[in-house]
Amino acid sequence: MRIDPNMSMDDLMRRWPPSIAVLIRHGMHCVGCHIAPFHSIAEACRDHRIDEADFLKGLERAVAGGPVSRPDAPPASPGDARR
């Protein structure tokens, strides 16, 4: 599945609620934002200085049920699962 970068942030969150975790991990507080219905994924990436290609990969993993992480996040250690 390919997520269209021209889709609005609001449409993204409504169609695929797991995408919200990706937004939050990138510091994007789009949930409830009055601009979300008018702001595309590409515009949000540009405005938040987030690499669009990496962000889209993260979104696609999240909506496919994969792990959600930031590209710059340290790898999880085995002890993290117990916390």
Spatial neighbors of 7 by CB under 8 A, at least 6 apart, are 40, 41
Q: Please tell me the pTM assigned to this model.
A: 0.74
For the cut 70, the answer to whether the pLDDT of residue 72 exceeds it is no
How far is C-alpha 1 from the geometric centre of its chain's CA atoms? 15
Q: How far apart are CA 72 and CA 21, in angstroms?
A: 15
Measure the CA–CA gap between 35 and 5, rounded to whole angstroms: 16
> What confidence tens digit (pLDDT) does each residue in 30-60 have?
888 899 999 999 999 999 999 999 999 999 9
Mean pLDDT, the chain, rounded, equals: 82
Average pLDDT over residues 14-38: 91
Nearest to 5 by CA among 62, 49, 66, 59: 59
